[in-house]
C-alpha cells in the first residue's frame, strides 16, 4: 500500500506521499512516489499509489516525451490546461495497465492497477487538483471535496474531516498532513517514513518548498509526540457520559 494526500487550499496546493513499497510484509523498501515537472508556464505534481511497475512506467513515459519533443505525442509541459494534462496522464495510465495485463493468464483484475493524484497550474487558469482512476478517467477537487487521498486512506481521514479548512496556512496544512500520516503509520505497516512534501503557491508558477521528512525529523517527531498528549486532553475535555 501507500498513502498519498493532496490538499486544495485557497492559497495553493499541498502534496504529501510516503515512500513505503512492499510485496508482502517481508519484502519492503523505500521508493519515491512524488514526481514533478515544471517550466515557465506550468507546474505539475504527481503522486502515485498502486502497482509500482505501472506507476514507474507512466512516469518514465512522461519523462521520455519531454526528452523527444519532436515526436507526435504531446509532452506534459506545453499543454493548454490542467484538464489536458490530466487527460494525457490518465490515458498513459490506462494504456500501461492494459499493456501489462494483456496476455497474462494468472493475474487478477487490479493486479496492475494504480491511482494517481495530479495537481498543479497552467498559466492562465487557476490551480487544479485531480484524482485519476486506473480506468484513466478522473475527478476534480472543488470546494465540497477539497482534498484527495489514495492508497491507505482510512486511518488518516477523520482528522482531515475535522480540521481541514480551505483558508488554512501552508504551515497548518503541513501540520495537518503530518497528523494524518502519523495516525496512519501508527496503525498500518504498509505506510512508512520518510515522507515527501511539496507545496505550490497559487499563481507563483514556480515549484514551492519541497522537503523529505525523515523518521528523525524533529518537527515530525514533535507533532507525533504532542499529538498523543493533545488528543488525550481533547478526549478528557469532552462532556462526561452517564451510564
Residues binding its own copies (CB under 8 A): 154-159, 161-163, 170-171, 174-176, 178-179, 183, 186-187, 199, 209, 211, 219, 222-223, 226-228, 230-235, 237-243
In the complex, least distance from residue 235 CB atom to its own copies, rounded to whole angstroms: 5
Q: Which three cell numbers stand for residue 103?
A: 496476455
The residue among 26 and 171 lying less far from its own copies, judged by its C-beta, is: 171
**Which one, 112 or 181, has the nearer CB to its own copies?**
181
Give residues with Cβ within 8 angstroms of 198, minimum separation 6: 14, 15, 16, 34, 36, 45, 207, 208, 209, 210
Residues 6+ apart with CB under 8 A from 138: 86, 90, 118, 130, 131, 132
CB of 34 to its own copies, least distance (A): 16
Query: In the complex, what is the shortest distance from the CB of residue 182 to its own copies, in angstroms, rounded to a whole number?
Result: 9
Q: In angstroms, what is the minimal distance from the CB of 231 to its own copies?
A: 5
Nearer to its own copies, 100 or 163 (CB): 163
Residue (21 or 198) nearer to its own copies, CB: 198
In terms of residues, how long is the chain?
243
Helix H segments across the chain?
52-67, 82-101, 157-163, 170-185, 218-236
**Rounded to whole angstroms, what are the CA distances from 63 to 74, 75, 116, 145, 219?**
11, 8, 16, 30, 33
Q: Kindly tell me which of 29 and 228 has the beta carbon lying closer to its own copies.
A: 228
Q: How far is the CB of 145 from its own copies (least distance, A)?
A: 13
Amino acid at each position: 500500500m501507500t498513502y498519498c494526500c493532496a490538499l486544495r487550499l485557497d492559497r495553493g496546493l499541498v502534496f504529501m506521499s510516503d515512500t513505503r513499497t512492499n510485496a508482502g510484509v517481508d519484502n519492503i523498501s523505500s521508493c519515491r512516489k512524488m514526481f514533478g515537472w515544471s517550466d515557465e508556464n506550468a507546474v505539475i505534481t504527481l503522486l502515485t499509489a498502486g502497482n509500482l511497475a505501472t506507476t514507474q512506467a507512466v512516469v518514465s513515459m512522461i519523462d521520455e516525451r519531454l526528452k523527444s519533443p519532436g515526436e507526435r505525442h504531446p509532452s506534459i509541459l506545453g499543454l493548454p490546461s490542467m484538464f489536458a494534462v490530466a487527460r494525457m496522464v490518465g490515458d498513459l495510465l490506462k494504456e500501461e495497465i492494459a499493456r501489462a495485463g494483456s496476455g497474462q493468464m494468472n493475474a487478477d483484475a487490479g493486479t496492475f492497477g494504480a491511482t494517481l493524484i495530479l495537481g498543479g497550474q497552467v498559466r492562465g487558469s487557476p490551480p487544479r487538483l485531480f484524482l485519476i482512476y486506473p480506468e484513466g478517467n478522473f475527478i476534480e477537487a472543488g470546494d465540497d471535496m477539497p482534498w484527495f487521498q489514495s492508497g491507505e486512506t482510512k486511518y488518516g481521514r477523520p482528522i482531515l474531516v475535522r480540521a481541514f479548512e480551505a483558508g488554512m496556512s501552508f504551515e497548518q496544512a503541513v501540520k495537518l498532513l503530518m497528523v494524518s500520516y502519523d495516525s496512519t503509520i501508527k496503525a498500518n505497516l504498509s505506510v512508512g517514513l520518510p515522507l515527501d512534501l511539496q507545496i505550490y503557491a497559487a499563481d507563483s508558477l514556480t515549484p514551492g518548498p519541497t522537503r523529505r521528512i525523515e523518521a528523525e525529523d524533529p518537527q515530525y517527531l514533535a507533532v507525533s509526540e504532542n499529538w498523543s498528549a493533545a488528543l488525550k486532553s481533547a478526549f478528557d475535555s469532552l462532556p462526561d457520559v452517564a451510564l
